């Protein structure tokens, strides 16, 4: 018998799996508020559309029965909220407005009200700043930003906004309370120190919250521009709130801040006249770029966070001055107070975090505020921080703290071994005492002689290294003094204005420069021994040389003494742009090169010529002033060598011998002598230890004694060598790259 009702198509297991996936896509689109047609949904599987439609109709019918459809909104376009705030009491006063606390009679809660000062309300700029502060505060939805309840105007037209009332104190007051606690004679001093340690950790924990709040603002494209302890509120129940966003400014977000997924916040009240990034902020906590009135960046906030951490560590800001301009100049030049001098007991790793956050160059600071927060959290967790290279003793101490039982067991085992070793040593010592006594007298004289021999060599090397360093510094100082001459400055500046790169100088300008240089060369000839002096313009053209030579008028921008890049390059084409002379150097000693005039090998000492005096920190380089010394002409005596450990321009040769008693006797076709790789590695290690900041500051010199193959005589000799370090100069300048070698006198 035939059935009167049609039977539905029977779906295969594969079709049923595809249909379930299509239904999931349809439900996801509906939940996201998107409209999708069944024809488009089943475009790749048209034979399933009837079955999918049947299931969709069934699901929609079920939703209607259960009332899951969204109700229609009330019939109004705008909702208005009203409340009444009574019993206002003054709390605090700032530069832009005053804060009061009152009682909200509608919802029975305490709220904070910030009113704009009446005398500022008529100023459009300040009203924009106030509007920006309220809008940024309201739109930054983060636990570290105070919630905004509403905005309004007083009867006189002055704007105000209502926000959550935080019952607590500012971080500034908390820091003051930590460093100036109220003492109680009845309390045990050990208990007071324990309480202070807990309070310090609480403040640091709050500082981490501030960093994360600022990181959130940066992710939204907002820079605070006035971070300081007074603008951080600490609630009674652990709340940490960043307030006073009146100087906030929007910035262009880069890839680092877009990875969070947060959308850029673009306040409608962010007028360029009110938040351009120029001016504003608290001087003691502003970054060098903010003090220089440059455009704001997230790095500026990270510097201010570092300044806030400085006050947490030391109890005072990182810079003080007699005037606002004095404070700004110290910040711009990086002349900050050393935290260790204020708080010698401060943890070095925490101080290192502070220094990195307050680095003079933005690129040397933490990349984000979250990175700064992570380092402080690692400090609180007693873990290594990225900003500080710990000594081995600190690492061992941390390992012992983290594994106390294992450390105690290891200590007991070590003590046991030491006791056993001590007993064995006493027994063996008594047994072998007569044998040692017999050998001692014979070896003592030999050791004393050998020690004296090595000490004398080392002392000679250190003394000679100091002497050469003084000769180098003398040449630099002579050049620096002469380069500041207004006559030279005007001659070079005039040439730079009248000549394009690659053009030939006029005879008149060359003659004036030559006359000036000849006088200076003669005036200093008795003080410093030199082969020549010369002046180069901004594009590398040699304007004058004393004694005069064929190099005058030629371009030497490819020379190492002009660029300060460590080696010579191929000569520049006329159309090529010359590098900025000694762009990253204030004085320089070049690698060895072949003179165009004498065809001899020499090194050059050079300094930049500036367009203004040192009081103008924005002055620019307009040329260089140099003097040269021929290789082998350093007057070091018959038992000394001079070695350059830097890479030279001669096929990237390193370890080149600049001076040797027999270097001028070598045939012209002979290859330039250089020391062995093993000796060069030892010399570089010694040089690195000698050029550490602490060694330079203390005027320490170091030397080493070992057998070395003479690169000219090809005979192994016992020598002492010492790096030549110019004391009184910064580390990057103090490291000359030269090593002086002293051999024993021939018998």
What would the pLDDT profile of 89-131 be if each residue is shown by its tens digit? 998 887 788 899 998 888 888 999 999 888 888 888 888 888 8
Angle, vertex CA 468, rays to CA 466 and CA 474, nearest 5? 105
Identify the pLDDT of residue 273.
Answer: 38
What are φ and ψ of residue 695, in 5° steps? Answer: -65, -40
Residue 3 has pLDDT above 70, yes or no: no
Output DSSP code: residue 229. Answer: G
Residue 597 has pLDDT above 90, yes or no: no
* Structure confidence by residue, pLDDT tens digits, 172-195: 999 999 998 876 656 677 777 888
pTM of the model: 0.47
**Better pLDDT: 150 or 606:** 606
Chain-centroid distance of CA 89 in Å reads 45
Which residue's entry shows tokens 């910030």? 114
* Structure confidence by residue, pLDDT tens digits, 239-284: 999 998 888 888 876 656 555 556 566 665 554 433 444 456 789 9
**731/619 Cα distance (integer angstroms):** 23
Structure tokens at 548: 């005069």
Residues 6+ apart with CB under 8 A from 655: 643, 644, 645, 674, 675, 676, 677, 679, 680, 683
3-state secondary structure of 709: strand
Lowest mean pLDDT among 112-121, 483-492, 499-508, 592-601: 499-508
* Structure confidence by residue, pLDDT tens digits, 274-310: 344 445 678 999 999 999 888 889 999 999 999 999 9
- What band does 8 get if pLDDT is binned at 50, 70 and 90? very low
What are φ and ψ of residue 713, in 5° steps? Answer: -80, -15
Annotate 86-123 with b (16+ C-beta within 10 A) or e (fewer): eeeeeeeeeebbbbbbbbbeeeeeebbbbbbbeebbee
- What band does 599 get if pLDDT is binned at 50, 70 and 90? confident
**295/275 Cα distance (integer angstroms):** 10
Which strand (E) or helix (H) includes residue 544? strand 542-546
Sign for the pseudo-dihedral over CA of 189, 190, 191, 197: positive
Identify the pLDDT of residue 394.
Answer: 66
Which residue's entry shows tokens 């000036």? 516
**207/185 Cα distance (integer angstroms):** 31
Identify the pLDDT of residue 266.
Answer: 61
Residue 721 has pLDDT above 80, yes or no: yes
Q: Note whether 620 and 582 are within 8 A (CB).
A: no
What is the distance in angstroms between the CA of the first residue and the CA of the last residue of the chain? 132
**217/211 Cα distance (integer angstroms):** 10
Identify the pLDDT of residue 287.
Answer: 93
Identify the pLDDT of residue 574.
Answer: 47
* Domain assignments of the chain as residue spans, ordered by start: 13-64, 87-165, 170-398, 484-630
Of the candidates 591, 571, 590, 587, the residue with the CA atom closest to the CA atom of residue 579: 571
Output DSSP code: residue 180. Answer: S
Identify the pLDDT of residue 186.
Answer: 66
Identify the pLDDT of residue 37.
Answer: 85
**362/367 Cα distance (integer angstroms):** 9
Lowest mean pLDDT among 28-32, 146-150, 342-346: 28-32
For the domain spanning 87-165, the CATH number is 3.30.200.20
Identify the pLDDT of residue 427.
Answer: 78
- Mean pLDDT of the chain, nearest integer: 83
Identify the pLDDT of residue 34.
Answer: 73
* Structure confidence by residue, pLDDT tens digits, 58-75: 888 777 766 555 555 555
**502/496 Cα distance (integer angstroms):** 11
Residues 6+ apart with CB under 8 A from 121: 127, 156, 157, 158, 159
Chain-centroid distance of CA 20 in Å reads 56
Distances (CA, A) of 181 to 178, 184, 256: 6, 9, 42
> What are the start-end ranges of the E strands in 154-247?
159-164, 168-170, 222-223, 232-235, 240-242
Mean pLDDT of 627-655: 79
**425/32 Cα distance (integer angstroms):** 82
Q: Note whether 520 and 534 are within 8 A (CB).
A: no
Bridge-partner residues for 594, per DSSP?
601
The answer for 383, left when phi > 0, alpha when psi is -120 to 50, beta otherwise, is beta
Annotate 290-320 with b (16+ C-beta within 10 A) or e (fewer): bbeeeebbbbbbbbbbbbbbbbbbbebbbbe
**143/136 Cα distance (integer angstroms):** 14
The CATH classification of domain 484-630, taken from the options 3.30.230.10, 3.40.50.720, 3.40.190.10, 3.30.450.20: 3.30.450.20
For the domain spanning 170-398, the CATH number is 1.10.510.10
**680/655 Cα distance (integer angstroms):** 6
């Amino acid at each position: 018998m035939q059935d009167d009702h049609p039977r539905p198509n029977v779906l295969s297991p594969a079709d049923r799996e595809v249909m379930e996936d299509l239904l999931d896509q349809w439900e996801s689109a509906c939940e996201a508020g998107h409209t999708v047609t069944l024809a488009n949904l089943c475009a790749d599987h048209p034979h399933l559309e009837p079955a999918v439609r049947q299931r969709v109709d069934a699901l929609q019918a079920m939703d209607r029965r259960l009332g899951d459809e969204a109700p229609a909104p009330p019939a109004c376009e705008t909702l208005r909220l009203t409340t009444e705030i009574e019993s206002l009491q003054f709390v605090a006063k700032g530069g832009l407005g005053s804060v009061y606390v009152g009682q909200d009679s509608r919802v029975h809660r305490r709220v904070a009200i910030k009113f704009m000062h009446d005398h500022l309300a008529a100023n459009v700029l300040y009203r924009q700043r106030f509007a920006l502060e309220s809008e940024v505060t309201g739109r930054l939805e983060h636990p570290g930003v105070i919630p905004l309840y509403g905005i309004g105007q007083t009867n006189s037209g002055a704007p105000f906004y209502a926000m959550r009332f935080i019952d607590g104190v500012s971080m500034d007051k908390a820091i003051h309370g930590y460093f100036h606690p109220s003492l109680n004679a009845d309390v045990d001093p050990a208990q007071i120190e324990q309480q202070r340690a807990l309070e310090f950790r609480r403040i640091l924990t709050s500082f981490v919250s501030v960093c994360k709040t600022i990181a959130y603002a940066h992710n939204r494209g907002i820079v605070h521009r006035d971070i300081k302890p007074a603008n951080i509120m600490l609630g009674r129940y652990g709340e940490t709130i960043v307030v006073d966003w009146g100087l906030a400014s929007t910035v262009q977000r880069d890839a680092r801040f877009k990875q969070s997924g947060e959308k850029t916040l673009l306040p409608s009240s962010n007028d360029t006249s009110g938040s351009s990034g120029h001016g504003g902020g608290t001087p003691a906590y502003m970054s060098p770029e903010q003090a220089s009135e440059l455009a704001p960046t997230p790095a500026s906030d990270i510097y201010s966070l570092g300044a806030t951490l400085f006050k947490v560590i030391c109890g005072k800001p990182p810079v003080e001055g007699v005037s606002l301009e004095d404070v700004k100049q110290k910040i711009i030049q990086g002349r900050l107070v050393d935290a260790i001098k204020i708080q010698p007991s401060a943890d070095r790793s925490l101080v290192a975090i502070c220094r990195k956050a307050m680095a003079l160059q933005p690129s040397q600071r933490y990349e984000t505020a979250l990175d700064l927060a992570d380092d402080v959290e690692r400090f609180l967790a007693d873990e290594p921080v990225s900003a500080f290279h710990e000594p081995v003793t600190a690492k061992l101490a941390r390992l012992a703290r983290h594994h106390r039982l294992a450390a105690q067991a290891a200590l007991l085992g070590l003590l046991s071994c030491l006791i056993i070793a001590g007993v064995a040593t006493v027994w063996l010592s008594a047994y072998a005492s007569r044998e040692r006594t017999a050998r001692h007298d014979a070896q003592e004289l030999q050791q004393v002689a050998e020690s004296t021999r090595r000490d004398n060599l080392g002392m000679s090397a250190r003394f000679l290294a100091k002497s050469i360093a003084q000769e180098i510094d003398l040449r630099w100082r002579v050049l620096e003094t002469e380069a500041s001459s207004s006559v030279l400055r005007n001659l070079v500046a005039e040439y730079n204005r009248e000549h394009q790169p690659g053009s030939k100088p006029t005879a008149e300008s060359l003659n004036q420069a030559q006359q000036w240089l000849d006088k200076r060369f003669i005036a200093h000839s008795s003080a410093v021994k030199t082969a020549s002096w010369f002046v180069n313009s901004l594009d590398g053209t040699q304007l004058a040389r004393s004694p005069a030579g064929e190099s005058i008028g030629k371009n030497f921008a490819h020379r190492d003494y002009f660029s300060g890049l460590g080696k010579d390059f191929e000569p520049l084409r006329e159309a090529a742009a010359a590098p900025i002379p000694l762009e990253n150097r204030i004085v320089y000693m070049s690698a060895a090169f072949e003179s165009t005039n004498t065809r001899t090998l020499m090194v050059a000492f050079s300094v930049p010529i500036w367009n203004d005096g040192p009081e103008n920190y924005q002055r620019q380089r307009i040329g260089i002033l140099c003097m040269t010394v021929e290789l082998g002409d350093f007057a070091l005596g018959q038992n000394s060598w001079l070695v350059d450990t830097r890479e030279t321009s001669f096929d990237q040769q390193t370890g080149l011998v600049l001076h040797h008693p027999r270097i001028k006797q070598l045939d012209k076709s002979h290859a330039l002598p250089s020391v062995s790789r093993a000796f060069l590695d030892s010399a570089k290690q010694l040089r690195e230890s000698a050029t550490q900041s602490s060694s330079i500051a203390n005027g320490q010199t170091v030397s080493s004694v070992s057998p070395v193959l003479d690169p000219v005589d090809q005979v192994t000799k016992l020598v002492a060598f010492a790096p030549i370090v110019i004391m009184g100069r910064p580390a990057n300048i103090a490291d000359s790259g030269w090593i002086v070698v002293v051999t024993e006198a021939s018998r």
